[in-house]
């Protein structure tokens, strides 16, 4: 990826529209961004990162600060970036969310992406497309492309834990942490589950309802207790059979007695029921006369129901006639009002001919005004085209002038470069001789270092030889002492054996040793003598001490050989180096000091000439490209000159055309033409609307007058018919009153109380139904109870209750025992299942616990699983970094990962540096400021290369470095620039932000940022 152009508007320090063209900087490959502190240098990097990802380059900058404090409320804040990838150009534009003065709601964030074929809008959509194109997210992009201010040396001085967090974000090892946490959760889960399972087993075991003796002896759960509980529960099952037998016996006794008792109770109830029925029957007989009087009222109500149609017709005819009279009055009033309105509208309608004539004249005037306006618009269009073409012509002239200036600068620079390249052969010869001298001196320094190591080793060998000699003497003394002890004990043992033999000899009996029958001096038994086994053990100890003495002697002998060999090697090196004095630490320090001084002088001379040669070779390689580019620019200047001539002709023609129109027509009152046209159109619409309104009102009133005249005629005819129907219905109604009632007053009384009488009719019917039902029930009960008598059941009731209580007690005891047995049996079966599950959980718990211990660093390497993986990546980063660091330090320093750090719980990511000049592995914190910058820059470059390869070899040919060169001396700046120039030759474009004056002199292409009280501005200078 290469940055082509950056456009900012109202963005952070830049109030006005600011455009940075990076395309012309790619020929130089290396450019500098300089300016005072706080002027907005880093803002360029922030703008690029924001355009691509919606974030800033440094971790401490926030998107809420992107809106420029100097911007006007109506000014839009946005960043537009054009970049090239795989020979194809893309443009991305993005706006942040920001508040504006005078507006209550914020301006919401926006983003769009243009690849030349389609436009993608939306923040999520653009982010996804950028990630797809570049192949990296914002974190990887900042680590590969941007080394931002404040983050330059983060990996150098970070602790092991901080470095772990940085590498975790770089290589996305979060899943490994998640894996560790998952294992931790699994351990906790199975541990909790195992403890819960143990609690469940104990709790469930305590739920067993067994004898108190058993519970006292088995208080805590144990797997063997399950079988004991099953035996105890079987005893409860035997008791259950006995309880079941007692229950059935009590039940049979109760069933037999209760059958006789309830039969007598039923006879008593039926006799009492007959007595109650007789009482109700006599009460109904006393109400019979009153019920018969209600029959007359029911007949009057029936007449009213049968003549309902007549009554309804009479009432309906009265109501219809009254409504028709009211409707006739309303229509008559409306008709009078319409006649008055029509008279007025008729006069207005007769005046419309004059309005229509005025409308036609307005239409003609509007058409003439439009034609006049079209002529003016044609004139304005020609004039606008001329002005646009003239602006393009001026812009082309400016571009031509700028290109001509750049062409002259490039021509001058090529001449200077050619003069410098002519010095290259002489410098190469001087560099070759200087390199030979440096190699010889370095070889001598290596031999002195080697002699120093041999001397130290010889001293150490001598000291060790002395120590071994002391050990040998100790081993020899120990051997002599134990050998003497063994000889003494062996002598005592032999004498003891002779004493045992002598104790069995008798006079005149032959000795088994010498055959003598006379024994004047018998051997005596010793009091304290070792046994044969103890003597054998002592013999083995003697042999072991002898072996130790011989081994100690061999070590002394071999060590003496090593001392002699090392002394011979030292003498040979002294002879080669022509050293006459006796060797000592002071001699080595003096020799190394002299030779280091010579080496430094030679290396400074060599490095300066080497840098000059490298620089001139790079200039030589780029000289041909610059010459070709100069020819291309010359051709481009000629093409632009031809374009200027063509454009000048085109502008002249356009000017003649619009001046001719200006001469033919007069448009001094063009504003009046537009106003007149607008007023004419307005008057035309108002007149048209007035005519339409009068015509509609006239015709509508005429139509309404006809409708209401017709309605009045119909209502008059309908009123006559309704009067005839009303008179006829009244005659029928009067005849009904005369036939069925004494007068209308009696009719109205029954009509008013019809509901009350109807309710009494239901009571009348219910009375006769109830009387009949009681008569039937009385007859049936008399027949059924003719042989029954009343019993006194008080004593039998007490006996029945006793039998019921006995049965219920037996039932309760049986079922309680059954419940206890079944519950115990169920619990015991569940206990067996739960115990098997408990063992399964315990196996999983121990398995996950072992895995978790390994992944969190409880292992011989003292490294977590994640740190083990990251240490591998870290080794690869250091390999890339050391390539650059060796170049910048002439092979003096190399970065290494510490593999064993004592006293640290977690290790694997600690960093140290090897100083090849002293051969000492140093702590990274011991580097000076300049050395730290070199190490940080090399580590950053190594990290960039590593991530780029890790991300699939993505094409990101742009690198930005923000600050860090202030700590370097002149030589270190040369070395750092040499590394950056190599990157430039790898088709990378490198931008540097720095205040260092020497960089301003060494880097030709510069972006100069200037700070004002109304924001920052910038311009580009090229050498």
Q: What are 711-733's pLDDT values in tens digits?
A: 888 888 888 888 888 888 878 87
How far apart CA 868 and CA 866 sit, in angstroms, is 5
Other C-beta atoms closer than 10 Å to the C-beta of 550 total: 14
pLDDT at 149: 46
The runs of H, that is alpha helices, within 665-753 are: 670-740, 744-752
pLDDT at 908: 67
Q: How distant is the alpha carbon of residue 435 from its chain centre? A: 57
How far apart CA 552 and CA 558 sit, in angstroms, is 10
Q: What is the pLDDT of residues 575-608, one digit of tens each?
A: 877 787 777 777 777 777 777 777 777 777 777 7
- Which of 238-242, 526-530, 942-946, 961-965: highest mean pLDDT? 238-242
What global pTM score does this model have?
Answer: 0.41
Q: What is the pLDDT of residues 757-816, one digit of tens each?
A: 777 777 777 877 887 888 888 888 888 888 777 778 788 888 888 888 988 888 888 898
| pLDDT above 80 (res 496) | no
pLDDT at 27: 57
| pLDDT above 80 (res 99) | no
| pLDDT above 90 (res 973) | no
Q: What fold is seen in the domain 146-174+857-955?
A: Rossmann fold (3.40.50)
Q: How distant, in Å, are the alpha carbons of 487, 489, 1002 from that of 483?
A: 6, 10, 86
Paired tokens of 115: 């690849």
User: Residues 47, 93: contact at Cβ < 8 Å?
Assistant: no
| pLDDT above 70 (res 6) | yes
Which residues, listed in sequence order, are joined to residue 80 by a DSSP beta bridge? 7, 93
| Mean pLDDT confidence for 692-719 | 82
Nearest alpha carbon to residue 114 among 135, 89, 95: 89
| Mean pLDDT confidence for 496-506 | 60
pLDDT at 1000: 77
How far apart CA 166 and CA 946 sit, in angstroms, is 14
| pLDDT above 60 (res 151) | no
Q: How distant, in Å, are the alpha carbons of 254, 264, 800 from that of 793?
A: 16, 8, 10
Name the more confident of 90 and 505. Answer: 90
Residue 1007's φ and ψ, nearest 5 degrees, are: -105, 115
How far apart CA 140 and CA 146 sit, in angstroms, is 9
| pLDDT above 70 (res 319) | yes
Paired tokens of 453: 């190591």
Nearest alpha carbon to residue 156 among 886, 979, 909, 864: 909
| Mean pLDDT confidence for 245-254 | 88
DSSP state of 77: P
| pLDDT above 50 (res 905) | no
| pLDDT above 50 (res 232) | yes
How far apart CA 995 and CA 1005 sit, in angstroms, is 15
pLDDT at 904: 43
How far apart CA 842 and CA 835 sit, in angstroms, is 11
- Percent of the chain scoring above 90 in pLDDT: 2
3-state secondary structure of 67: strand
For tokens 């830049």, what's the residue? Answer: 14
How far apart CA 172 and CA 470 sit, in angstroms, is 60
| pLDDT above 50 (res 77) | yes
| Mean pLDDT value across the chain | 79
| Mean pLDDT confidence for 993-1004 | 77
| Mean pLDDT confidence for 475-498 | 79
- Which of 223-232, 295-304, 663-672, 974-983: highest mean pLDDT? 223-232
Binning pLDDT at 50, 70 and 90, where does residue 164 land?
confident
Other C-beta atoms closer than 10 Å to the C-beta of 439 total: 11
| pLDDT above 70 (res 514) | no
Binning pLDDT at 50, 70 and 90, where does residue 967 land?
low
| pLDDT above 60 (res 640) | yes
| pLDDT above 80 (res 179) | yes
Name the more confident of 338 and 963. Answer: 338
pLDDT at 91: 92
How far apart CA 180 and CA 855 sit, in angstroms, is 6
| Mean pLDDT confidence for 219-223 | 75
| Mean pLDDT confidence for 356-380 | 78
- Which of 80-84, 206-210, 287-291, 329-333: highest mean pLDDT? 80-84
How far apart CA 694 and CA 356 sit, in angstroms, is 12
Nearest alpha carbon to residue 34 among 1018, 1023, 1022: 1018
Range from 95-99, 158-162, 732-736, 964-968 carrying the lowest mean pLDDT: 964-968
Q: Going by C-beta distance under 8 Å and a sequence separation of 6 or more, which residues neighbour residue 777?
A: 277
Positive or negative CA dihedral for 909, 915, 921, 925? negative
Name the more confident of 880 and 377. Answer: 880
| pLDDT above 50 (res 572) | yes
The C-alpha torsion from 189 through 190 and 193 to 197, rounded to 10°, is 180
Paired tokens of 884: 């650059």
| Mean pLDDT confidence for 819-829 | 88
pLDDT at 968: 65
| Mean pLDDT confidence for 878-885 | 84
Nearest alpha carbon to residue 556 among 476, 436, 441: 476
pLDDT at 185: 92
pLDDT at 714: 83
How far apart CA 704 and CA 709 sit, in angstroms, is 9
Positive or negative CA dihedral for 335, 337, 339, 342? negative
Range from 464-473, 578-587, 685-694, 844-853 carrying the lowest mean pLDDT: 578-587
pLDDT at 954: 59
How far apart CA 944 and CA 940 sit, in angstroms, is 6
For tokens 């920001």, what's the residue? Answer: 98
| pLDDT above 90 (res 871) | no
How far apart CA 477 and CA 220 sit, in angstroms, is 65
pLDDT at 929: 67
User: Residues 136, 954: contact at Cβ < 8 Å?
Assistant: yes
The C-alpha torsion from 159 through 162 and 168 to 173, rounded to 10°, is 80
How far apart CA 281 and CA 773 sit, in angstroms, is 9
């Amino acid at each position: 990826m290469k940055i082509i152009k950056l456009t900012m508007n109202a963005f952070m320090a830049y109030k006005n529209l600011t455009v940075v063209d990076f395309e012309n900087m790619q020929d130089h490959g290396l450019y500098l961004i300089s300016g005072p502190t706080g002027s907005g240098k880093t803002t360029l990097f922030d703008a690029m990162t924001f355009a691509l990802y919606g974030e800033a380059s440094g971790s401490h900058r926030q998107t809420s600060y992107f809106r420029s404090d100097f911007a006007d409320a109506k000014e839009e804040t946005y960043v537009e970036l054009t970049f090239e990838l795989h020979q194809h150009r893309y443009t991305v534009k993005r706006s942040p969310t920001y508040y504006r003065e005078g507006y209550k709601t914020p301006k919401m964030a926006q983003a769009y992406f243009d690849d030349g074929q389609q436009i993608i809008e939306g923040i999520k959509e653009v982010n996804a497309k950028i990630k797809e194109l570049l192949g990296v997210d914002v974190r990887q992009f900042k680590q590969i492309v941007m080394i931002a201010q404040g983050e330059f040396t983060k990996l150098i001085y970070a602790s092991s834990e901080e470095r772990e967090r940085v590498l975790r974000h770089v290589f996305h090892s979060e899943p490994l942490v998640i894996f560790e946490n998952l294992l931790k959760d699994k351990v906790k889960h199975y541990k909790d589950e195992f403890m819960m399972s143990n609690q469940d087993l104990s709790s469930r075991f305590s739920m067993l309802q067994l004898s108190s003796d058993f519970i006292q002896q088995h208080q805590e759960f144990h797997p063997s207790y399950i079988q004991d509980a099953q035996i105890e529960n079987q005893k409860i099952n035997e008791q259950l059979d006995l309880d079941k037998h007692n229950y059935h016996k009590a039940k049979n006794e109760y069933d037999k007695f209760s059958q006789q008792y309830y039969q007598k109770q039923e006879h008593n109830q039926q006799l009492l029921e007959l007595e109650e029925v007789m009482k109700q029957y006599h009460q109904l007989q006393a109400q019979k006369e009153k019920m018969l009087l209600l029959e007359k009222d029911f007949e009057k109500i029936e007449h009213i129901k049968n003549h309902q149609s007549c009554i309804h017709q009479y009432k309906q005819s009265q109501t219809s006639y009254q409504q028709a009279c009211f409707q006739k009055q309303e229509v008559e009033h409306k008709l009078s009002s319409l006649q008055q309105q029509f008279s007025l509208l008729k006069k207005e309608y007769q005046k419309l001919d004059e309005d229509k004539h005025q409308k036609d004249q307005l239409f003609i005037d509007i058409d003439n005004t439009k034609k006049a306006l079209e002529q003016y618009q044609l004139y304005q269009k020609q004039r606008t085209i001329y002005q646009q073409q003239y602006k393009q012509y001026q812009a082309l002239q400016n571009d031509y002038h700028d290109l001509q200036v750049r062409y002259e600068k490039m021509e001058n620079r090529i001449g200077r470069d050619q003069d410098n390249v002519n010095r290259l052969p002489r410098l190469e010869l001087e560099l070759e001789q200087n390199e030979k001298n440096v190699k010889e001196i370095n070889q001598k320094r290596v031999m002195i270092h080697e002699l120093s190591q041999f001397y130290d080793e010889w001293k150490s060998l001598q000291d060790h030889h002395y120590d071994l000699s002391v050990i040998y003497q100790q081993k020899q003394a120990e051997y002599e002492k134990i050998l003497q002890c063994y000889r003494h004990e062996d002598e005592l043992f032999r004498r003891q054996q002779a004493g045992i033999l002598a104790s069995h000899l008798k006079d005149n009996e032959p000795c088994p040793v010498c055959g003598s029958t006379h024994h004047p001096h018998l051997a005596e038994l010793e009091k304290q003598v070792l046994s044969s086994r103890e003597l054998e053990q002592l013999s083995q100890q003697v042999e072991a001490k002898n072996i130790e003495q011989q081994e100690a002697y061999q070590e002394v002998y071999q060590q003496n050989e090593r001392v002699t060999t090392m002394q011979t090697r030292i003498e040979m090196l002294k002879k080669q180096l022509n050293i006459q004095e006796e060797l000592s630490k002071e001699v080595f320090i003096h020799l190394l000091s002299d030779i280091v001084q010579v080496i430094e002088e030679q290396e400074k001379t060599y490095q300066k000439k080497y840098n000059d040669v490298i620089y001139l070779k790079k200039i030589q390689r780029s000289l041909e490209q610059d010459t070709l580019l100069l020819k291309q620019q010359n051709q481009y200047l000629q093409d632009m000159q031809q374009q200027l001539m063509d454009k000048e002709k085109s502008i002249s023609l356009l000017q003649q055309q619009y001046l001719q129109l200006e001469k033919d027509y007069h448009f001094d009152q063009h504003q009046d033409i537009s106003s007149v046209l607008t007023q004419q159109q307005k008057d035309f619409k108002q007149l048209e609307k007035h005519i339409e309104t009068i015509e509609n009102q006239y015709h509508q009133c005429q139509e309404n007058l006809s409708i209401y005249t017709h309605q009045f005629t119909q209502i008059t005819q309908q009123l006559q018919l309704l009067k005839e129907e009303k008179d006829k219905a009244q005659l029928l109604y009067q005849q009904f009153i005369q036939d069925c009632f004494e007068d209308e007053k009696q009719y109205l009384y029954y009509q008013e109380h019809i509901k009350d009488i109807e309710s009494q009719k239901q009571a009348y019917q219910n009375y006769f139904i109830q009387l009949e039902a009681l008569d039937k029930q009385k007859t049936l009960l008399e027949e059924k109870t003719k042989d029954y008598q009343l019993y006194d059941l008080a004593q039998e009731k007490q006996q029945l209750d006793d039998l019921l209580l006995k049965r219920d007690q037996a039932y309760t005891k049986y079922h309680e025992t059954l419940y206890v047995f079944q519950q115990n049996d169920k619990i015991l079966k569940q206990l067996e299942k739960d115990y098997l599950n408990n063992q399964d959980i315990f196996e999983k718990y121990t398995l996950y616990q072992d895995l978790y211990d390994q992944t969190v660093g409880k292992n011989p390497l003292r490294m977590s699983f994640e740190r083990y993986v990251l240490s591998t990546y870290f080794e690869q980063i250091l390999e890339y970094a050391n390539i650059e660091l060796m170049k910048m330090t002439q092979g003096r320093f190399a970065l290494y990962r510490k593999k064993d750090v004592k006293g640290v719980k977690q290790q694997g990511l600690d960093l140290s540096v090897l100083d090849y000049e002293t051969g000492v592995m140093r702590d990274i914190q011991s580097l000076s400021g300049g050395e730290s910058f070199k190490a940080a820059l090399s580590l950053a470059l190594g990290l960039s290369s590593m991530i780029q390869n890790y991300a699939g070899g993505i094409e990101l040919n742009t690198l930005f470095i923000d600050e860090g060169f202030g700590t370097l001396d002149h030589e270190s700046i040369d070395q750092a620039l040499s590394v950056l120039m190599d990157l430039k030759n790898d088709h990378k474009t490198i931008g540097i932000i720095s205040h260092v004056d020497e960089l301003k002199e060494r880097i030709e292409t510069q972006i100069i940022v200037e700070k004002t009280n109304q924001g920052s501005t910038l311009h580009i200078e090229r050498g």
